[in-house]
Amino acid sequence: MKALLLAAGLGTRLRPLTNMLPKCLVPINDKPLLEYWLEHLTQVGINEFLINTHYLHVKVEEFINQSKYKDKITLTYEKELLNTGGTLLENRDFFNNESFMLVHADNLSFCDFSAFINAHDKRKNGCEITMMTFVTDTPSSCGVVKIDEDAVVQEFYEKVKNPPSNLANGAVYICEPSLFAFLEHLNKANIDFSNDVLPAFMGKINTFLNDNYHRDIGSLESYAQAQIDMKNRGTNLAFSPNMRR
């Protein structure tokens, strides 16, 4: 399995931290976010990564070139941001018509990633995506889902005032290559995954609950909390129970 690590974002809510550093490289416990993903996913057998860049792309390139994972990584620079679905479609040949992992690399996530892959392998017939979910205490700031007894998404709400659930989308997915036909059908270059893609796949999205730890490092407050969490729990969080956003 290959993985796309999305690392092109501007990180505006993390300023001034991101004035000189891309969001994917902000350090948590002295380790860049991107390195956590490369480390975790390599451990479960993912050995080919596509990483898109845009904002402060030279710094990302320098990090990769000095990384022990550099031989596993292909970089793609976006002069203009394509959004998640657009990046996928632009680079569809990279995935060789196989299942792949799609990761927003500005998240900090610890879980049994082998179990995540296994959940996708055992998904209900007809599901083309497996979404990592987590329980959040701030559901209005997240995309939240309602699932059925088979853990398949039936309803999706993107950052609404009074969400009907606290089960949130972790923005980490395993996708089937059939997704590309849908992306192509949209007939546009810039494709938002939450608004253009997910609503069209209701009843076709399996879920995997990350009940270990998941946090979107999207604000200075969240970033500070992640630092506290790491110091309190230590760095070996891969199977620590009940760490949630």
What is the chain's mean pLDDT, rounded? 88
CA-based R_g, the chain, Å: 17
Tell me, yes or no, whether 76 lies in a domain.
yes
Residue 11's pLDDT is 67
Tell me the mean pLDDT in the region 54-75: 92
Q: For residues 177 and 141, which has the higher predicted lDDT (pLDDT)?
A: 177
What is the pLDDT, as a whole number, of residue 228?
Answer: 87
pLDDT tens digits, 91-130: 999 999 999 999 999 899 999 999 999 999 999 999 999 9
Is residue 241 a part of any domain in this protein? no
Query: Is residue 140 very low, low, confident or very high in pLDDT (cuts 50, 70, 90)?
Result: confident
> Residue 159: inside a domain, yes or no?
no
Q: Report if residue 148 sits inside a domain.
A: no
Report if residue 81 sits inside a domain.
yes
Domain that holds residue 86: 2-126+171-191+215-233
Residue-wise DSSP of 119-180: HHHTPPTT--EEEEEEE-S-GGGSEEEEE-TTSBEEEEEES-SS-S-SEEEEEEEEE-TTHH
Note the pLDDT of residue 223. Answer: 79
List of residues 6+ apart from 169 with CB closer than 8 A: 131, 132, 133, 142, 143, 144, 145, 156, 194, 198
Indicate the burial class of 6 (C-beta count within 10 angstroms; 0-12, 13-18, 19 or more).
buried
The model scores a pTM over 0.85: yes
Mean of pLDDT values over 66-87:
93
pLDDT value of position 52: 94
Domain annotation covers residue 110: yes
- Write the pLDDT tens digit of every residue in 186-236: 999 999 999 999 999 999 999 999 999 998 887 888 878 888 888 877 645
Residue 8 within any structural domain of the chain: yes
How many separate domains does the chain show? 1
pLDDT recorded at residue 239:
38
CATH code where residue 113 lies: 3.90.550.10
Q: Is residue 175 part of a domain?
A: yes
Q: Report which of 91, 97, 244 is spatially closest to residue 170, judged by C-alpha positions.
A: 244
